[in-house]
Amino acid sequence: MPHNARVFIIDDDAAMRDSLEFLLGTAGFAVTPFGSAAQFLDALPHLGFGCLVTDIRMPEVDGIELLKRLKTASIKLPVVVMTGHGEVPLAVEAMKLGAIDFLEKPFEDERLIGMLKMALEQSIKNTKIAADTVELAARLASLSPRERQIMEGLVAGLSNKMIANKYDISPRTVEVYRANVMTKMHAANMSELVKLAIRSGTLDD
């Protein structure tokens, strides 16, 4: 279970909200219920990380419209939609709009709990990957044009002497640039530098 396992529930049926809040609360989730999508959208800027469970049929803003608004706002929130029996076409539309899965009512409690655990864990991984990608891009941006050339030569397997000849500089100067590259890229050795280069796309060509 992720440490910050928060779940937001949207359902205009008070009995269903109470039932889900009790179920998920006993499973260890921190639950915040909402009686409408409009209430959820109003509170969204202050909610932070979590997973959303929403009914698909609601008055005013329904589940499909909610997903459209989240997509338009580029809000990447794991969403599970609850549908009535025989509403698979609606569920498919919801998944096309970004929902990670759907549940037909009535559903098994354990299936919902398992789905939410996986969704939260995957979302945490995705957030970390995105943060790592931004950090790596910042490291690359910190390199001077010459340092970038030296790094590309190193990961291409060129020796210091070959790099020096290619750019008409001394091997000693290459050593200095090489040290700068390793420091700025936070690479302890050539193996790490190559891995970083692959992740950044430097070796794509």
CATH number where 148 lies: 1.10.10.10
Last residue of a domain, one of 133, 152, 169: 133
Give pLDDT, residue 86.
67
Burial of 40 (0-12, 13-18, 19+ CB in 10 A): buried
Q: Are residues 92 and 182 in the same domain?
A: no
Last residue of a domain, which of 112, 133, 154? 133
Q: Are both 62 and 124 inside the same structural domain? A: yes
Residues 125 and 186 in one domain: no
DSSP notation for 58-109:
-SSS-HHHHHHHHHHTT----EEEEE-TT-HHHHHHHHHTT--EEEESS--H
pLDDT of residue 205: 47
Dihedrals φ, ψ of 6, to 5°? -105, 135
d(CA 111, CA 158): 54
pLDDT at 192: 86
Taking CA 189 as the corner, what is the angle to CA 184 and CA 192, rounded to the nearest 5 degrees? 80
Residue ranges of E strands in the chain: 6-10, 30-34, 51-55, 79-83, 101-104
Same-domain pairing of 82 and 123: yes
Domain, as residue range, for 157: 142-200
Is there a single domain that holds both residue 43 and residue 71?
A: yes
The DSSP output letter for 5 is -
**Are 164 and 120 found together in one domain?**
no
In this structure, the answer to whether residues 28 and 127 fall within a common structural domain is yes
Whether residues 152 and 100 fall in one domain: no
Quote the pLDDT of residue 135.
85
95 and 28 housed in the same domain = yes
pLDDT number for residue 202 = 67
Per-residue pLDDT of the chain (205 residues; tens, 9 = 90+): 555 578 999 999 899 999 999 999 998 898 999 999 999 999 988 887 888 999 988 888 888 899 999 888 888 888 999 887 667 788 888 888 888 888 888 888 888 898 888 888 777 776 677 677 788 888 999 999 999 999 999 888 899 999 999 999 999 999 999 999 999 999 888 888 888 888 787 655 4
Q: CATH number of the domain at 20, please.
A: 3.40.50.2300
Same domain, 11 and 112: yes
Q: What domain count does the chain have?
A: 2
Within a domain: 1: no
Residues 108 and 31 in one domain: yes
- Does any domain span residue 186? yes
Residue 89 lies in a domain: yes
Note the pLDDT of residue 111: 87
Residue 9 near residue 53, CB atoms below 8 Å: yes
Same domain, 163 and 124: no
Q: What is the pTM of this model?
A: 0.62
